[in-house]
Amino acid sequence: MTQLLGGMPIMADLPGWAFTLIAMSGVGIILLLSIAVAVMIFSWAERKVAAYIQSRYGPMEVGPWQGTLQPIADGVKFLLKEDIWPTGADKPLWRLAPLLIFTGAFLSYVVIPFGPNFIGAKLDVGLFYIFATSSIVVVGIISAGWGSNNKWALYGAVRGAAQVISYEIPLSLAIMPIVLHVGSLNLGEIITAQRGWFVNWHAFGNWGSHGFAGILSLVSFQISLWIYFISSLAEVNRVPFDLPETESELVSGYHTEYSGMKFAFMMLGEYADVFVVSAIAVTVFLGGWYSGIPVIDRFVPAPLIFVSKSLFLVFVQMWLRWTLPRLRVDQLMHVCWKVLIPITLANLFLYGLLRTALA
C-alpha cells in the first residue's frame, strides 16, 4: 500500500505522519470492506450448504441465481429493524458488546498471511497476537450477557465465556509443537517452513525437516491438528459447541436482547472469527500459501491458494454443523479439561523429546 500511494503525485509530498495515516487507513478500509463482503458470502453459503444437506433448497428467490442476493436483503432487513433497548439494561456495557465482539474478530485479520507480500503487519509474535485478540471476544460476550438484564442472556454469556477461555488452552498448546519446530511465532516463517512438496506440510509431519523421524512428527502434528480444529470450533461457538447461542436452549443466549444492526455486528464478528480460525489452521498445519506441488506454486497466486484452503475449512465447519449433535455444557468442559488438555500436554512433551533426540 505504501508503494502504491507513494507513486501518486500528490501523496508523496505529504509529511511522513500524514502519509502513513492515509496508507494505513486505506489498508484498513479495504480489509474491512472485503471482510464484510466475505462474511455476507459466508452467510449465504451457510444457508445453502445447510439446505442441501437437509434435502431442501435454501434461499432461491432473491437473486438472479439461487438466492445470491439474499445476504443483501438480510443486510437491508437488519438496517430497517427497530433498535430495541432492554429496560434496565446497563446501557454503556450493552452497547459496547457488539463492538468488542466485532473488533476482536477483525483485529486478527491484520496478521493473517494471505501471501508473502499480502500480510497486514509482519509481526514476529503473530500467532500470539491472534490468541490475544481473540480473547477480546470474551469481554464482549460477558458484557452482552450482563448488560442485557436478562437471566438467560447471562447464562448464555457465562457459558459462552467459560467455553471460549477454556478452549483457548488446548488451542494454543496444540500449536506449541509446531512453534517448537519452526522456532518462531511469525506466521510468515511458519508458512515458509512448509515450502516444497506437500509432505512438508505440518499436517503431514514436515518430512523435509525431520527426515525419517517424519513418521513420529506426523503422529504428533496430526494430534495437534485435530485438537486445534476441535478447539477452534469451540472458540467460535459452532456446533458441536454452540450451546451459548442455540435457539432451542437459551432463546438466543447472549444475543437475545440485540436487534437490528447490533445483532448484525455480532453475527459479522462471529463469521469473521470462523474464517480467522480456519486461516490459522491453514497457516500452521496445511501449508499456508504453498499448494504442495512446487510447479503450481509458480503459476497460481499465493493468496488464491491460501483463501481457497481456508474456505474449504470453513465449508468443513458448516458441514459439521449439520452432522453432529450438540454437546451439553458439562460434556463440553469435560472434553476440554479432562481429554484435550492432557493430550496436548503429552503431545508437547513427546514432541519435545523427539526434538531433543533429533538434535
Partner 1 sequence: MVKLVKDIYETFSTIFKGMGITRRYLGKKPVTQQFPYERWAMPERFRGFVHNDVPRCTACLLCAKACPVDCIYIDVEGKGKERQMTRYAIDYNKCIWCSLCTEPCPTNCITMSHDYDHSVYLRERLVYEFVDEPVVPFKPSKEKKPEPDATGTATPVAGASGGEGGAQA
Q: Which of 225, 194, 155, 220 lies closest to 294, judged by CA?
A: 194
337 makes contact with partner 1 (CB under 8 A): no
Dihedral through CA 181, CA 185, CA 187, CA 191, nearest 10? -10
320 makes contact with partner 1 (CB under 8 A): yes
Cell of 354: 523427539
Any idea what the Cα angle at residue 209 is, between residues 204 and 210, rounded to 5°? 70
The distance of closest approach from Cβ of residue 309 to partner 1 in the complex, given in angstroms and rounded to an integer, is 18
57 makes contact with partner 1 (CB under 8 A): yes
Number of C-beta neighbours around residue 121 at 10 A: 10
Instruction: Give the range of 38-46, 139-147, 299-307, 317-325 binding partner 1 by CB under 8 A.
Output: 317-325
Between CA 238 and CA 169 the distance in angstroms is: 17
20 makes contact with partner 1 (CB under 8 A): no
Among 32, 319, 346, 349, binds partner 1 (CB under 8 A): 319
Q: How many Cα atoms occupy the beta-carbon half-sphere of 208 within 13 Å? A: 15
Cα→Cα distances 63→38, 42, 48, 344, Å? 17, 16, 13, 46
Between CA 330 and CA 334 the distance in angstroms is: 6
Number of C-beta neighbours around residue 73 at 10 A: 14
The distance of closest approach from Cβ of residue 159 to partner 1 in the complex, given in angstroms and rounded to an integer, is 22
51 makes contact with partner 1 (CB under 8 A): yes
Instruction: Give the range of 123-131, 163-171, 271-279, 315-323 binding partner 1 by CB under 8 A.
Output: 315-323
Q: Mark residues 186-225: x for contact with partner 1 by CB under 8 A, - for none.
A: ----------------------------------------
53 makes contact with partner 1 (CB under 8 A): yes
Which one, 32 or 324, has the nearer CB to partner 1?
Answer: 324
Among 34, 117, 323, 331, binds partner 1 (CB under 8 A): 323
Which one, 5 or 50, has the nearer CB to partner 1?
Answer: 50
49 makes contact with partner 1 (CB under 8 A): yes
Check residue 72 and report its DSSP letter. H
The distance of closest approach from Cβ of residue 198 to partner 1 in the complex, given in angstroms and rounded to an integer, is 21
Residues in binding contact with partner 1, number by CB under 8 A: 16
Q: Mark residues 222-241: x for contact with partner 1 by CB under 8 A, - for none.
A: ----x---------------
Between CA 205 and CA 178 the distance in angstroms is: 10
In sequence order, the 6+-apart residues with CB closer than 8 A to the CB of 290 are 191, 194, 195, 196, 198, 200, 201, 297, 302, 305
Which one, 211 or 325, has the nearer CB to partner 1?
Answer: 325
Contact positions toward partner 1, by CB under 8 A?
A: 49, 51-57, 60, 226, 319-320, 322-324, 339
